[in-house]
Structure 1
Amino acid sequence: MTWFPRMVLLLLIAALLPVTGCGKSEKKGTATGGAQVIKGVTVEVVTAEVIPDLLEAVGTVRARNSASVAARVPGTVRGIHAREGDRVRKGQLLVTLESAESTAGAAGAKSAVVEADRGVDAAAARRKLAEATYERYQNLLAEQAVTRQEFEGRQMERDVAIQEFARAEARLAQAREVSRTAGTVAGYTRITSPLSGIVTARGVDAGMTVFPGMPVLTIEEEGGYRLEVAAPESIAGKVKPGNPVMVTMGGATAPTAGKISEVVPVVDPLSRTFIVKVDVVAAGI
Structure 2
Amino acid sequence: MRVKVVQLGADGHVHGLYYSGVVDAEKNISLSFLTPGTVSEVPVREGDRVRKGQLLAKLDCESNKNSFRIAQEKARQAEDAFNRFEPMYKNGNLPEIKMVEIRTGKVQAELAEKLARKNMEDCSLTAPDDGLISARSIEPGDNAAPGMPALKLVSVDKVYAVISVPESEISGIKKGVPVSVELSGQGNRRVEGKVADAGVSADPLSRTYTVRVLLKNPDSKILPGMLCNVYISRREGPAGVAVPASAIKMDGDNRHFVFVFDGPSRRVRKTEIVLGGFREGGVLVVSGLQGNESVVREGVQKLDDGMLVEAAL
Name the counterpart of 1:264: 199
> Which residue does 1:94 correspond to in 2?
56
Q: Gaps spanning 5+ residues in structure 1: where?
A: 1-9, 11-49, 135-157
- Higher RCO structure (Cα 8 Å, ≥6 apart): 2
For 2:209, give the aligned amino acid: F
Deviations 1:4-28 (A, max 9, x none): xxxxxx9xxxxxxxxxxxxxxxxxx
Q: Does 1:207 align with 2:121?
A: no
* 1:54 equivalent in structure 2: 17
Larger mean Cα displacement after TM superposition, 245-254 or 200-209: 245-254
Q: How far did 1:194 drift? A: 0.7
Cα deviation, residue 276, structure 1: 0.6
* 2:212 aligned partner: 277
For residue 75 of structure 1, what is the aligned residue in structure 2?
Answer: 37
Deviation at 1:259, TM superposition (A): 0.9
TM-score (norm 1): 0.66
8 Å contact 1:73–1:99 — kept in the other structure? no
Q: Is the 8 A contact 2:166 2:207 kept in 1?
A: yes
Amino acid at match of 1:224: K
Q: Give the AA of the match of 2:216.
A: V
**Is the CA contact 1:75–1:100 (under 8 Å) kept in the aligned structure 2?**
no
Residue 127 of structure 1: how far off its partner (Å): 4.1
Q: Does 1:64 find its partner at 2:10?
A: no
Partner residue in 1 for 2:126? 192
CA distance in 2, matches of 1:238, 1:252: 29
Find the aligned partners of 1:124 and 1:199 in 2 and give their Cα distance: 54
Deviations 1:108-135 (A, max 9, x none): 322321332343355347547xx4xx7x
Q: Is the 8 A contact 2:193 2:213 kept in 1?
A: yes
Q: Which structure carries more helix by proportion? A: 1
1:89 is displaced (CA, Å) by: 0.8
What percentage of residue pairs aligned between the two structures are identical?
28
Higher strand share: 2
Q: Which runs of 5+ in 2 are unaligned?
A: 1-9, 223-313
Residues 133 and 153 in structure 2, CA contact (< 8 A), matched pair in contact too: yes
The whole-number CA distance in structure 2 between the counterparts of 1:275 and 1:118 is: 63
C-alpha contact (below 8 Å) 1:94/1:193 kept by paired residues: yes
- Normalising by the residue count of structure 2, what TM-score does the alignment of the two structures yield? 0.61
Larger Rg: 1
Separation in 1 of the partners of 2:53 and 2:117?
Answer: 18
Corresponding pairs, count: 208
C-alpha distance in 2 between matches for 1:125 and 1:256: 73
Give the Cα–Cα distance (whole angstroms) in 2 for the partners of residues 86 and 174 of structure 1.
Answer: 43
Report the CA distance between 1:208 and its aligned residue. 0.4
What value does the CA root-mean-square deviation take over the aligned residues?
Answer: 2.3
State the one-letter code of the partner of 1:75. Answer: G
